[in-house]
Structure 1
Amino acid sequence: MDADNGGRPGPENPPGPLEQQGRRQDRQPVNMTKTATAPPAVAEGDLRASDADRDRVAEILREALAEGRLDPEEHAERIDTVYRAKTMGELEPVIRDLPASGAGRARQDRDAYAPGAGTPGPDQNLVAIFSASARKGRWRAPARINAFALFGSVEIDLTEAVFPQRQVQINVTAVFGSVEIRVPENITLRSSGSGILGSFEVESHDSEDADAPQVVVNGFAVLGSVEARPKRGAWIRDLRDRLRDGHRELRHELREERRERHHQLREDRREWHERLHAERRERRDRFRKGMGG
């Protein structure tokens, strides 16, 4: 390093590698942009409620009414609150003291037709020749059911059955006989059959659950009848009966209240007439005493 040029390296003394690296770092541009901050997350209770959220809460309230957890007045008040709610925080207090019956029912239904680890059971054969045959209640539905009715009747009720597999095929033959099939509302019902001088009526139904089992009815009816349709659950019938009983009790209470009010009006009118007659009698007696004096 030369002393005459103030300690700066001259042409004969080039800068070292460390000094070159320091100069390159000094020449790097400075980032003047500011890092954007994310907006604060919205609390779950402040989220806007959708129509599906309101319908889900309303379904829980309907089941609570059917089970007797709510009376009709409480149910009406809460339903009004549900359809007026705008956020999830306004929906949550409505069902805070109720079990999530809708989710429990859906989970129970899915468990009822969850595929089992074992192999499918043997075919179920139902034969009715000048007689009647039925299969109902809680039972494991096999993959194939064969029903034959000759001058007889066969009843197949799957509303309480457990479905180890996703598809059940029912082969029916009705000759001068009848075959009646009932399935739950939460499954898919299909048919491929015909009637020969008879009726083959299958009410096709599509389940909203993509994992729901499928029941396919095949066969024919010769001078007979085959009928298959979904069956409403017991809780719907209970709800209808409860509403009917509630309306009947309300009419009875209104009738009794009207009778009591009418009786009270008659008593008040009778007392008013008696008091009026007593006042007239008193005035007449005073008048007679005055005339006699």
Structure 2
Amino acid sequence: MKLTKTAPAAVAEGDIRASDADRDRVAEILREALAEGRLDPEEHAERIDTVYRAKTMGELEPVLRDLPAARGSRPQPDPGGAAYGPGAPVPDQNLVAIFSASVRKGRWRAPARINAFALFGAIEIDLTEAVFAQQQVQINATSIFGSVEIRVPENITLRSNGSGVLGSFEVEFNDAEDADAPQVLVNGYAVLGSVEARPKRGAWIRDLRDRLRDGRRDLRHQLREEHRERHEQLRQEVWEGHLRLRAERRERRDRFRK
């Protein structure tokens, strides 16, 4: 008799194990719902507790079922690698400098597309401390009698597709060793102006990702502590109410006996 091997049963989507990034993403939606008044503090605390106790994607779905963020789709597993920061997609950003200067730097969430236009002005885009919410960022840079300067971490991929017309369009190509590292593509042109993009030596996105992970861990701890304190407060209020009712019943009983 010939034995046949049966293929293992596929895991249902709701049974997929939830990651820390999945829980953080759902918690962020709940925080926005609290800020918008869609949830009151008690509902928010209950759902946050459910989120950080969830083991699977199916356990995360109910906490978002009645919120606008959940209308399009159920929570999706974190694909890993490409997503470097939590939260919803960032809208496109426009930077304009006309006889002026525009600077974007520090710790900020980089959108999928940045449009930069400099006319007799200067624009600086510094991505060395940015949170990459997606793997690819496209920068459309136009410089007319102006300048656009772009700095990126040295462990990401940097590419360009631009040209200079009586101007300078210089991009220092860079290939990241990690295939899942963020990619920055610089497009556009420079007319009697300049567009320059290059890695900033010594700036590594890995360091920022470590800090973000530590920040998420501290945030989860803070939320759990807040929930524990709220739960203890509610339990104390219930107990005090119970004692008041007992005292009132005893007082009524004593008056009846008299």
* TM superposition score category, shorter chain reference: 0.3 to 0.5
TM-score (norm 2): 0.46
Task: Report 1 or 2 for greater relative contact order, CA contacts < 8 Å, sequence distance ≥ 6.
Answer: 2
Structure having the higher helix fraction is 1
Task: Report the structure number with the largest CA radius of gyration.
Answer: 1
